Homo-oligomer: A and B are copies of this chain.
Amino acid sequence: MEKKIRTIAALNSHNVSVNLDEVILRNGKRGERIKIIHPEAAAVIPFLSEDEILMVRQYRYALERQTLEIPAGKVDPGETAEECAARELMEETGYKAEKLDLVCTYAPAIGYSSELIHVYSAKILQQAGQGFDQREISSVEKMRLSEVWEMVKKGEIVDGKTLLSLSMLKIVGEP
């Protein structure tokens, strides 16, 4: 247990805040903790068929590079994680899922963030026709799973939620 003494400083941007807190550590001494208060999020592995998925290419400001990843985003107020997964899939790829199954829920950065990501797999996709959100996404790509795993083995996919989602689905199996 670590108990907060005070918030030293804070930043806020839309629905995310970052606090720098002074805390009492396990040994009774004082220390500092950065805490990002982040909404829950959802990620989705969109299957076009048993061996083909959709991925999105996106510039990531914090990494200063483009990444290839599965669609994901923050859960809006009043929305369930499953609704968020369906909405993000539609916004980022233009595809609609007929069935979403929860794969797992995890905390991506427990050292400094409260974020929890709910991972879904999506089946029987249909193109809904309105394209994708060009404000964030550079391109939507159809990828064979064998091709994705080759990229993973070469270290060409670095996004944690994509690696975790694909490998957990493979191991834990589908519902």
A interface residue numbers (CB < 8 A to B): 1-2, 9-14, 16, 18, 20-21, 23, 25-27, 29, 32-36, 59-64, 67, 69, 104-117, 134-136, 138, 149, 152-153, 155, 158-161, 163-164, 167-168, 170-172
Contact = CB atoms under 8 A, between A and B. Distances in A.
Contacts of A13: 20, 32-34
A138 B107 contact: no
A110 B160 contact: yes
Nearest to A172: B153
Contact of A108 (B18, B33, B109, B172): B109
Nearest to A108: B160
30 contacts: A10-B11, A11-B11, A11-B18, A12-B20, A13-B20, A13-B33, A14-B32, A26-B136, A26-B138, A27-B135, A34-B62, A35-B62, A36-B112, A63-B107, A64-B114, A104-B152, A105-B155, A106-B159, A106-B160, A109-B113, A110-B158, A110-B161, A112-B113, A117-B160, A149-B171, A160-B160, A163-B164, A163-B168, A164-B167, A171-B171
